[in-house]
Amino acid sequence: MRPGNTYYLGFYAQSDSTFSVSDSTNGGYIDYTNTLAFYGGYTTNQIPAFGQLKFRIDVPNDATEWIDTSVHGAGVWLFLDQGSAPTLTTADDWYSENYANQGLDVSLQNASSWPWLPGYSYFLNVTNTSGSTQPFSFSMFGVYPEAGPIEFTSARVLPSHGGFLMNMQVNPGWTYQVLVSTDLINWSVLTTFTPTGSTATFTDTGAPGYTYRFYRLVPQ
Protein backbone atom coordinates (compact mmCIF):
# COMPACT_ATOMS: atom_id res chain seq x y z
CA MET A 1 0.00 0.00 0.00
CA ARG A 2 1.16 3.53 -0.77
CA PRO A 3 0.86 5.87 2.25
CA GLY A 4 -1.01 9.10 1.62
CA ASN A 5 -2.89 7.70 -1.38
CA THR A 6 -6.64 7.21 -1.76
CA TYR A 7 -7.97 3.77 -2.68
CA TYR A 8 -11.43 3.00 -4.08
CA LEU A 9 -13.37 -0.20 -3.50
CA GLY A 10 -16.48 -0.89 -5.57
CA PHE A 11 -19.21 -3.56 -5.51
CA TYR A 12 -21.51 -4.74 -8.26
CA ALA A 13 -24.57 -6.91 -7.47
CA GLN A 14 -25.86 -9.00 -10.35
CA SER A 15 -28.97 -9.65 -8.26
CA ASP A 16 -30.39 -8.47 -4.93
CA SER A 17 -27.64 -9.06 -2.40
CA THR A 18 -26.87 -8.50 1.22
CA PHE A 19 -23.25 -8.26 2.29
CA SER A 20 -20.92 -6.62 4.78
CA VAL A 21 -17.41 -5.26 4.34
CA SER A 22 -14.64 -4.31 6.75
CA ASP A 23 -10.99 -3.42 6.52
CA SER A 24 -7.97 -3.82 8.77
CA THR A 25 -4.19 -3.52 8.63
CA ASN A 26 -1.48 -5.91 9.71
CA GLY A 27 -0.77 -3.61 12.65
CA GLY A 28 2.52 -2.32 11.27
CA TYR A 29 3.65 1.02 9.95
CA ILE A 30 6.21 2.08 7.36
CA ASP A 31 9.04 3.07 9.70
CA TYR A 32 10.96 5.26 7.26
CA THR A 33 10.83 8.29 9.53
CA ASN A 34 14.31 9.64 8.75
CA THR A 35 14.12 12.11 5.87
CA LEU A 36 16.75 13.31 3.40
CA ALA A 37 16.32 16.60 1.58
CA PHE A 38 15.93 16.30 -2.18
CA TYR A 39 18.03 19.43 -2.65
CA GLY A 40 21.40 18.78 -1.03
CA GLY A 41 20.47 16.00 1.42
CA TYR A 42 23.43 14.15 2.93
CA THR A 43 24.04 11.45 5.53
CA THR A 44 27.02 9.46 6.75
CA ASN A 45 26.97 6.62 9.23
CA GLN A 46 28.37 3.28 10.34
CA ILE A 47 26.01 0.37 9.69
CA PRO A 48 26.35 -2.55 12.13
CA ALA A 49 26.65 -6.11 10.85
CA PHE A 50 23.42 -7.12 9.07
CA GLY A 51 21.90 -3.76 10.04
CA GLN A 52 19.73 -1.38 8.02
CA LEU A 53 19.26 2.34 7.50
CA LYS A 54 15.91 3.68 6.25
CA PHE A 55 15.20 7.06 4.64
CA ARG A 56 12.33 8.89 2.94
CA ILE A 57 13.08 11.43 0.21
CA ASP A 58 10.20 13.72 -0.75
CA VAL A 59 10.55 14.98 -4.32
CA PRO A 60 9.00 18.43 -4.96
CA ASN A 61 6.51 18.96 -7.77
CA ASP A 62 8.94 21.21 -9.68
CA ALA A 63 11.89 18.78 -9.61
CA THR A 64 13.42 17.88 -12.98
CA GLU A 65 16.20 15.41 -12.21
CA TRP A 66 17.18 12.91 -9.51
CA ILE A 67 20.93 12.63 -8.88
CA ASP A 68 22.46 10.72 -5.98
CA THR A 69 25.86 9.30 -5.12
CA SER A 70 26.89 6.93 -2.34
CA VAL A 71 30.14 5.66 -0.88
CA HIS A 72 30.10 2.12 0.53
CA GLY A 73 31.49 -1.38 0.11
CA ALA A 74 30.02 -4.11 -2.08
CA GLY A 75 28.44 -5.71 0.99
CA VAL A 76 26.17 -2.68 1.49
CA TRP A 77 23.07 -2.96 -0.72
CA LEU A 78 20.70 -0.12 -1.62
CA PHE A 79 17.02 -0.53 -2.52
CA LEU A 80 14.83 2.37 -3.70
CA ASP A 81 11.08 2.40 -4.29
CA GLN A 82 8.67 5.17 -5.21
CA GLY A 83 5.55 5.46 -3.07
CA SER A 84 6.12 2.69 -0.53
CA ALA A 85 8.77 0.73 1.35
CA PRO A 86 11.17 -1.35 -0.78
CA THR A 87 10.71 -5.11 -0.92
CA LEU A 88 14.51 -5.58 -0.71
CA THR A 89 14.42 -7.63 -3.90
CA THR A 90 15.20 -7.05 -7.57
CA ALA A 91 11.52 -6.13 -7.99
CA ASP A 92 12.25 -2.72 -6.46
CA ASP A 93 12.41 0.34 -8.70
CA TRP A 94 16.20 0.53 -8.29
CA TYR A 95 18.75 -1.59 -6.41
CA SER A 96 22.53 -1.98 -6.15
CA GLU A 97 23.24 -5.52 -4.99
CA ASN A 98 26.92 -6.54 -4.85
CA TYR A 99 28.30 -3.24 -6.17
CA ALA A 100 30.27 -0.58 -4.30
CA ASN A 101 29.86 3.20 -4.57
CA GLN A 102 26.64 3.30 -6.57
CA GLY A 103 24.86 6.35 -7.96
CA LEU A 104 21.64 7.13 -9.80
CA ASP A 105 20.94 9.89 -12.35
CA VAL A 106 17.45 9.90 -13.92
CA SER A 107 15.21 12.53 -15.47
CA LEU A 108 11.93 13.33 -13.74
CA GLN A 109 10.49 15.27 -16.69
CA ASN A 110 9.08 12.45 -18.80
CA ALA A 111 5.46 11.84 -17.76
CA SER A 112 5.63 8.27 -19.09
CA SER A 113 8.83 7.32 -17.23
CA TRP A 114 7.14 5.70 -14.24
CA PRO A 115 8.26 5.54 -11.45
CA TRP A 116 10.68 8.46 -11.96
CA LEU A 117 8.31 11.39 -11.53
CA PRO A 118 8.24 14.54 -9.37
CA GLY A 119 5.78 15.04 -6.55
CA TYR A 120 6.18 11.61 -4.93
CA SER A 121 7.93 10.19 -1.87
CA TYR A 122 10.76 7.73 -2.47
CA PHE A 123 11.88 5.22 0.15
CA LEU A 124 15.53 4.16 0.45
CA ASN A 125 16.70 1.08 2.35
CA VAL A 126 20.42 0.56 2.98
CA THR A 127 21.27 -2.98 4.15
CA ASN A 128 24.61 -4.21 5.41
CA THR A 129 24.76 -7.83 4.25
CA SER A 130 28.18 -8.45 5.79
CA GLY A 131 29.13 -9.68 9.25
CA SER A 132 31.11 -6.56 10.14
CA THR A 133 30.34 -2.86 10.61
CA GLN A 134 30.46 -0.95 7.31
CA PRO A 135 30.83 2.80 6.60
CA PHE A 136 28.24 4.47 4.41
CA SER A 137 27.51 7.92 3.03
CA PHE A 138 24.77 9.15 0.68
CA SER A 139 24.30 12.48 -1.10
CA MET A 140 21.29 13.90 -2.96
CA PHE A 141 21.73 16.50 -5.70
CA GLY A 142 18.16 17.15 -6.82
CA VAL A 143 17.67 19.53 -9.74
CA TYR A 144 14.82 21.95 -10.43
CA PRO A 145 14.15 23.97 -13.63
CA GLU A 146 16.05 27.12 -12.72
CA ALA A 147 19.14 25.27 -11.59
CA GLY A 148 22.25 25.14 -13.73
CA PRO A 149 25.22 22.79 -13.32
CA ILE A 150 26.85 22.72 -9.89
CA GLU A 151 30.45 21.56 -10.03
CA PHE A 152 34.11 22.18 -9.46
CA THR A 153 35.36 23.45 -12.83
CA SER A 154 39.10 23.62 -12.10
CA ALA A 155 41.60 23.58 -9.25
CA ARG A 156 45.28 24.26 -8.70
CA VAL A 157 47.88 24.31 -5.99
CA LEU A 158 49.04 27.83 -5.15
CA PRO A 159 52.79 28.50 -5.08
CA SER A 160 54.75 28.80 -1.84
CA HIS A 161 52.31 26.54 0.03
CA GLY A 162 49.50 29.05 -0.34
CA GLY A 163 46.84 26.36 -0.39
CA PHE A 164 44.52 24.67 -2.85
CA LEU A 165 42.36 26.98 -4.99
CA MET A 166 39.06 25.72 -6.40
CA ASN A 167 36.90 27.31 -9.09
CA MET A 168 33.20 26.44 -9.00
CA GLN A 169 30.16 26.79 -11.24
CA VAL A 170 27.14 27.65 -9.10
CA ASN A 171 23.70 29.29 -9.15
CA PRO A 172 23.40 32.91 -7.96
CA GLY A 173 21.46 33.33 -4.74
CA TRP A 174 21.85 29.72 -3.62
CA THR A 175 23.70 28.89 -0.41
CA TYR A 176 26.52 26.34 -0.67
CA GLN A 177 28.99 24.58 1.55
CA VAL A 178 32.41 23.26 0.63
CA LEU A 179 33.02 20.07 2.62
CA VAL A 180 36.34 18.31 3.16
CA SER A 181 37.30 14.77 4.18
CA THR A 182 40.36 12.54 4.37
CA ASP A 183 38.47 9.23 4.27
CA LEU A 184 35.20 9.92 2.32
CA ILE A 185 33.27 9.03 5.49
CA ASN A 186 33.73 11.90 7.93
CA TRP A 187 33.13 15.35 6.44
CA SER A 188 33.57 18.83 7.88
CA VAL A 189 32.52 22.26 6.59
CA LEU A 190 35.29 24.46 5.21
CA THR A 191 33.10 27.38 4.20
CA THR A 192 29.48 28.43 3.64
CA PHE A 193 28.75 31.04 0.99
CA THR A 194 25.97 32.55 -1.14
CA PRO A 195 27.30 33.65 -4.56
CA THR A 196 26.00 36.66 -6.46
CA GLY A 197 27.21 35.29 -9.81
CA SER A 198 27.46 31.96 -11.62
CA THR A 199 31.08 31.33 -10.62
CA ALA A 200 32.89 31.27 -7.28
CA THR A 201 36.35 30.50 -5.93
CA PHE A 202 37.61 29.19 -2.62
CA THR A 203 41.11 28.50 -1.30
CA ASP A 204 41.73 25.77 1.24
CA THR A 205 44.69 27.24 3.09
CA GLY A 206 44.88 24.17 5.33
CA ALA A 207 45.54 21.78 2.43
CA PRO A 208 49.38 21.91 2.64
CA GLY A 209 49.18 20.19 6.02
CA TYR A 210 47.69 17.01 4.52
CA THR A 211 48.91 14.31 2.16
CA TYR A 212 45.53 14.33 0.39
CA ARG A 213 41.99 15.68 0.90
CA PHE A 214 38.60 15.11 -0.74
CA TYR A 215 36.12 17.92 -1.43
CA ARG A 216 32.36 18.20 -1.96
CA LEU A 217 30.28 21.16 -3.13
CA VAL A 218 26.80 20.90 -1.57
CA PRO A 219 23.78 23.21 -1.96
CA GLN A 220 21.88 23.98 1.23
**Burial environment of residue 62 by CB neighbours within 10 A (0 to 12, 13 to 18, 19 or more):** exposed
Specify the amino acid at residue 195: P
**What does the alpha-carbon distance between residue 31 and residue 33 come to, in Å, rounded to a whole number?**
6
Q: Structural domain boundaries of the chain?
A: 39-141, 151-219
Q: Would you call 160 helix, strand, or coil by DSSP?
A: helix
Cβ–Cβ contacts within 10 Å for residue 151, how many?
11
Express each pLDDT in 165-219 by its tens digit. Answer: 999 998 887 888 999 999 888 889 999 999 888 899 999 999 999 998 999 988 8
- In the chain the first and final C-alpha atoms are separated, in Å, by 32
Express each pLDDT in 16-33 by its tens digit. Answer: 988 899 888 776 788 898
Please report the pLDDT score of residue 197 as a whole number.
85
Cα torsion 37, 116, 185, 40: sign: negative
Please report the pLDDT score of residue 26 as a whole number.
76
Are residues 184 and 71 in contact, defined by beta-carbon separation less than 8 angstroms?
Answer: yes
For residue 170, how many C-alpha atoms fall within 13 Å in the half-sphere facing its CB? 25
For range 66-87, the mean pLDDT: 94
Average pLDDT of every residue of the chain: 90
Express each pLDDT in 102-133 by its tens digit. Answer: 889 999 988 788 999 999 999 999 999 999 99
Quick check: 162 pLDDT over 90? Answer: no
Please report the pLDDT score of residue 36 as a whole number.
94
CATH topology of domain 39-141: Jelly Rolls (2.60.120)
Report the candidate in 179, 174, 176 with the shortest Cα–Cα distance to residue 215.
Answer: 179
